[in-house]
Structure 1
Amino acid sequence: MVRHTLEYHKNPHNTVNRYKHQAVYSLTTIHTLINTTPVLHVSFTPSPDDPFPVILPMIGQMGSFDHPSRGVGEVLDCYLHGYVSSRVMNLARRKEGNGKGMPVCIAATKVDGLVLSLTPNSHNYNYRSAVLFGHAQLVSSPEEKLYAMELITNSVVPSRWQHTRVPPNAAELSSTSILRIKIDSGSAKVREGVPLDEKGDMEDEDVLGKVWTGVVPLYEVYGEPVPGPYNRVEKVPEHVEGWREEVNGSIRGYAVEAAGKDAPVKRREVGEED
């Protein structure tokens, strides 16, 4: 049976207008970017009277409490973790019972390579970025709160929750709040490939002979674990070391592969910006 790839519907908020050929609306791509980015940036408007929007670095993860077996390619919520009396939690608390909740945007970005071209203007990055638009509400159910805390903990290192002292005690639970964001829409933008310069420069032998062009792959590396001062476990557990080796290979492999792909070719569409 053929399974269709789910996508976010395009609307004025999430539609990519520049370089539309690099736009992605696939739930799998967008949710994977959110789940694999250690720090998300969450933006919101604190009040109608405040002239400045607020952007906070937060830890989050996609999931579904009602349907926990759903994969990244299916409809999911985004859970964000924070201190109980933090600004964003207090704002969400004040908006309880007020329609859908507090409007927020969530952004994730990965840089996979430095694209070095013939001219300064044509330099670029290989990158993946995603933005989600939705409404945030505080999680009130103890069961859903524990679900989200486990989900987010395991996003740091898979299976970490079960290898710690759990469940959290009363003080830990009372000091932590969880936001559930119902996603309205989202989009991603992805650039992979070699440099691409203007035709005139690429045919100029003098320029070609003077300027090095190519891609410098860029990727995160998880280093050798360093034991803490009160650690008494002699060997680094497999759920840490095995994951570290696997994810390092995966991240590096993607960046190197992206560096050798063909440059994205712009397909001009009616009404597209230059």
Structure 2
Amino acid sequence: MTGSPSTPTTYAPTPRTTGSRARERMAYDRELVHSILDEGFLCHLAFVRDGAPVVLPTLYARVGERLYVHGSTGSRPLREAGQDSGMPVCVTVTHLDGLVLAKSTFHHSVNYRSVVVHGRAHQVTDHEERLMALDAIVDSAVPGRAEDSRRANAKELAATAVVRVDLEEVSAKSRAGGPSEEPEDLELPYWSGVLPVSPVYGTPIPADDLAPGTPLPDYLTAR
């Protein structure tokens, strides 16, 4: 799903999405936000429970201008998302691209790309939308896997919660490049530069009870 031709190319900044530091790293470009979200599948979902902040790591997928987030029906906060007004949340996604090593400890940093989404989470109750969202969440982690799996049955669906958050109050932030050095530190005898970081997938390990002769799917050999 993509936006219509009339969809703005940027998200409108709000007080919550306007950074107080390093504002030059902030961006609201819709395509950039989508690309950062689409590259990942793990997010951190933040909300307030009993007056205290809570942050949960969980799986997500973007479908058009919505994020779908996976959870359990036994989770009280996700049950609160079933209320008409929804539940106030903040969702963050971050990719670490490199460790930036400067000549001084003060100027050490990281290269990264991140997206922060503010909004209200609403529980998905429509049956077909839930199935679509769960397929999207599976495919966001392993593209092609949803079609190559049994769909959840009624009992499993009853134990699974899916919430959606509209992409309206959104910002991206990133850093790239080498270290920023103080002029007086340039001649110090310390190595400086960037140590790149990227995810690495290992060799697939078959389940102990996998039927002999079951081939490894192409979508795993391509990773």
Q: Under a length normalisation based on structure 1, what TM-score does the superposition of the two structures give?
A: 0.75
Pairing 1:26-37 to 2, within 5 Å after superposition: 26-37=29-40
- C-alpha deviation, 1:38, in angstroms: 3.1
Q: 1:195 corresponds to which residue?
A: 179
Q: 2:117 corresponds to which residue?
A: 132
- C-alpha deviation, 1:196, in angstroms: 1.8
Q: 1:212 corresponds to which residue?
A: 191
Distance verdict in 2 for CA 1:44–1:241, change over 3 Å: same
CA distance, structure 2, for counterparts of residue 184 and residue 237 of structure 1: 37
**What code does the residue aligned with 1:97 have?**
D
Q: 2:71 corresponds to which residue?
A: 82
Q: Secondary structure at the match of 2:167?
A: strand
Q: Secondary structure at the match of 2:81?
A: helix
- C-alpha deviation, 1:3, in angstroms: 10
- C-alpha deviation, 1:201, in angstroms: 2.0
- C-alpha deviation, 1:139, in angstroms: 0.9
- C-alpha deviation, 1:4, in angstroms: 9.1
**What code does the residue aligned with 1:220 have?**
P
- C-alpha deviation, 1:35, in angstroms: 2.9
Q: 1:142 corresponds to which residue?
A: 127
CA distance, structure 1, for counterparts of residue 36 and residue 81 of structure 2: 25
Query: Gapped runs of 5+ residues in structure 1?
Result: 65-75, 245-274
CA distance, structure 2, for counterparts of residue 137 and residue 217 of structure 1: 38
CA distance, structure 2, for counterparts of residue 3 and residue 193 of structure 1: 35
Pairing 1:1-274 to 2, within 5 Å after superposition: 6-47=9-50, 50=51, 52-64=52-64, 76-93=65-82, 96-98=83-85, 101-165=86-150, 167-202=151-186, 205=187, 207=188, 210-232=189-211, 233-242=213-222, 244=223
Determine if contact 2:96/2:113 at 8 Å carries over to the other structure.
yes
CA distance, structure 1, for counterparts of residue 71 and residue 110 of structure 2: 32
- What is the CA deviation profile of residues 69-108 of structure 1, one whole-angstrom value per residue up to 9, with x for unaligned ones? xxxxxxx011111111212222213xx223xx21110011
Query: Gapped runs of 5+ residues in structure 2?
Result: none
Radius of gyration: which is bigger? 1
Q: Secondary structure at the match of 1:53?
A: strand
**Runs of 4+ residues deviating >6 angstroms:** 2-5
CA distance, structure 1, for counterparts of residue 24 and residue 70 of structure 2: 34
Distance verdict in 2 for CA 1:240–1:118, change over 3 Å: same
**What code does the residue aligned with 1:55 have?**
V
Q: Under a length normalisation based on structure 2, what TM-score does the superposition of the two structures give?
A: 0.91
Q: Secondary structure at the match of 1:195?
A: coil
Structure richer in helix, relative to its length: 1
**What code does the residue aligned with 2:193 have?**
G
CA distance, structure 1, for counterparts of residue 90 and residue 199 of structure 2: 25
Determine if contact 2:44/2:57 at 8 Å carries over to the other structure.
yes
CA distance, structure 1, for counterparts of residue 99 and residue 59 of structure 2: 26
Distance verdict in 2 for CA 1:5–1:118, change over 3 Å: farther
Q: How many residues align?
A: 218
Determine if contact 1:80/1:178 at 8 Å carries over to the other structure.
yes
CA distance, structure 1, for counterparts of residue 200 and residue 37 of structure 2: 18
